[in-house]
Structure 1
Amino acid sequence: MPSSYQAPSRKDKIQEKTHSQTPVTNASTETATVGKILESKGKDVFSLRPQNTLHEAVVQLKEKRIGALIVKDAAGKLQGILSERDIVRRLAETPGQTLSQKVEDIMTRDVKTCSPGDQLISVLQTMTKGKFRHMPVVNGDIVVGIVTIGDVVNYRLQELEYESLQLKQLIVG
């Protein structure tokens, strides 16, 4: 007999089970909300005033590596949103004369907003239907963040990946 041999004991017959999940976690139906995205992404909101020039806006978009800016008045109240798409359209309409124009001349004034408690699916539907990629998140009259269609899709993909993992664990045991 090898020197490393140990005779079986009663403890060897007891099979311990570990559970990486419970019926509660498997049946969890937590609704994905805008607030969940803001928790992971942060609540930085880059903004400018209606009187700023498009040149100032373009510089900020480039430096911050973002696709849209919130437009607020001096009191901090939402006035509109300015996206890269807005600027490109104006560049096509007024070549060579665009960067000196004011933000208020081309910003989108009728801004669709959402709140932290809104469900992601409804926000995604609104963005898809309206054909825009950025939506300010407001709590009352205060802008508390901004979500992009990329944020929503990425969050949903992570959810699906997690659900897939849960199903695999359920099947494997």
Structure 2
Amino acid sequence: MNDPELKPEATRSVAQPAVSAIQAVARSRLLTVPVDAHLVNVAALLSSAQISVVVVCSETGEVLGIITETMLVKQLGMGRADFFSTRADAVMTRDIRSCGLQDLLPDVLTMMHKQGLIHVLLVDADNRPLGVVNMRDGLRALLQAGNHEEELLRSYVMGIGYQ
């Protein structure tokens, strides 16, 4: 790279989308229950959805915890909970990973990968759930952003210019 016109800082990098780029799909994956919901209701909700996590919310809508399918299976398998009388707050985990709309998607996906997570909760400034970020949805969005950048570069090189 001895050519002064090809300085590394002058090269274009792939745009890094924010989590807001997948807000619609994240919103479609959001399942919530009140803190006093019974596990049978949580299980019914999960069985009719294409996601494996339910968000437990307070009466005012703030996130209190989550319940995953795995947590329900453990409760059932170990005989720890009566699904018809045990409330969501008795088995939910309060150890929640979350992100905001402004967070960069690559950063969120990196955190998810490092911590072995499939889902991360998308919350607003008041800790109210906006959606659930799924690893697969995030990777798809990054791939689409990369493909768009590749098309722009190809058009530029072919003399068409940026479109």
TM-score range (shorter-chain normalised) is 0.7 to 0.9
Q: Using a 3 Å threshold, how does the CA distance of structure 1 residues 89 and 168 change in structure 2: closer, same or farther?
A: farther
Structure 1's consecutive aligned runs of 4 or more residues displaced over 4 angstroms after TM superposition are: 26-29
Structure possessing the higher relative contact order (Cα contacts under 8 Å, 6 or more residues apart): 2
1:156 aligns with 2:142: yes
Match for 1:80 among 47, 50, 65?
65
Corresponding pairs, count: 146
Identity rate, percent:
24
Report SS of the residue matched to 1:163.
helix
Kindly state the Cα deviation for residue 98 of structure 1 after the two structures are TM-superposed. 5.1
Kindly indicate whether the alpha-carbon contact (under 8 Å) linking 2:99 and 2:122 is maintained by their aligned counterparts in 1: yes
Q: Which residue of 2 aligns with 1:169?
A: 155
**Larger radius of gyration between Structure 1 and Structure 2:** 1
Root mean square deviation of aligned Cα? 2.4
Distance 1:130 1:105 in 2: 24
Kindly state the Cα deviation for residue 157 of structure 1 after the two structures are TM-superposed. 1.8
Scaled by the length of structure 1, what TM-score is found? 0.72
Superposed, 1:56-71 pairs within 5 Å as 56-71=41-56
Unpaired segments ≥5 residues, structure 1 = 1-25
Distance 1:167 1:93 in 2: 56
Q: Which amino acid aligns with 1:76?
A: G
Kindly state the Cα deviation for residue 160 of structure 1 after the two structures are TM-superposed. 2.5
Kindly state the Cα deviation for residue 168 of structure 1 after the two structures are TM-superposed. 3.3
Scaled by the length of structure 2, what TM-score is found? 0.76
Q: Using a 3 Å threshold, how does the CA distance of structure 1 residues 41 and 86 change in structure 2: closer, same or farther?
A: same
Q: Which amino acid aligns with 1:41?
A: V
